[in-house]
Structure 1
């Protein structure tokens, strides 16, 4: 009986010490500085910061199914959705899609703040901001870049000889780049998965924001619906793999602690 009480006391002391250490680290330790200079409104040619080494990613040529064939019902659905979204020209949804292609952490922080429940910023939530800033490469460089090159799917606006909601320069830049899967969708949904883990009480709104971020690319005309759906699936692969990475786990622990502190 005495030994059981002693064991419980040791466990409680260990937990208390861990909590104290985490609190102290959270207050004093700041996220590492990373080079995110290649992240902006544009191209997937940039090399982005990321957590995982290339060897950690699966071979997406085997785990990502091929895009829908042109005579399939899935492609017919892609076409129907594309045509329906052309009707959104001039609406708020079209405007949102035109301004919603940014990949930088400042924009992503602003985009997810309403759903997250507290303001996300480099100053107020540095660890959460750091996670958003750093996982872009995991989603794009490690996630969608290889299957994009492998499948080289034609983008919908190119297929129909149309224009997107963006500029002519942006359209021209993407003409020869693969459409499948969507890198924006993978990144946006990966961020939503991470933020929902930090604040599970708001998970529905956070997931919806992640889906909207990818869907904006359908509205704009850069992606088919199946592109963004596969992007979300890749985000799930990446999220699982990130959770086996110690550096990511540490950053996530600090982000959870800063959120708990901000909610007090």
Structure 2
């Protein structure tokens, strides 16, 4: 016994106690090793991790202990790759062969028109495309009318002047007769011929002026694209060609026919824009 009165254990009992403790430690270590999950093998990572997490969660539930940091099954199980909708512009499209557009026919050159129906369609298109055509044609017609009135008034004035000269000569004869002098023969052919030549000269001047005005108008109408004005020379038939050729070329006109078409077009424009 020790000085305090306690019994001192002998050596054999101490050894037996140590041996029993050693056996308990070995049994606990073996139980821990048996519950430790095996190391994952290649190719079974996903299945083993999922089983481990499932066992861990179940064991936690069975033990009544909730571990908020324990991984869940949804965090371990790989999610399928999200399918991103493709941009339709990036999707290769099947090539569609569309028929080639029909070529646009070239506009008709007014200088090649020799038929009235084509000329009428052409001037209608020009009137739509050129809104100033109406004012230009009206000004041309006003200038033409002004010159024609001036020329007519000049001719009337010349005739009145000639008549006044005849009347003056008659008055002069009456005065000469009253004093017994010789009278002037008013029926002298020279006097009549002189008046006629004077009138013809005036008419010639008017004709030349009207011809110049007509040429100017034709040039302006050609610039506006009005058909039958500025027609190509190779489309105008020579009268001699008609005598030698029995078959008349198509789309060709004589000068007389072209002049008739020009007058018809002028009448049409006058009716439309006067």
Q: TM-score, normalised by structure 1?
A: 0.24
TM-score, normalised to structure 2, is 0.23
- Larger Cα-atom Rg: 2
Higher RCO (C-alpha 8 Å, min separation 6): 1
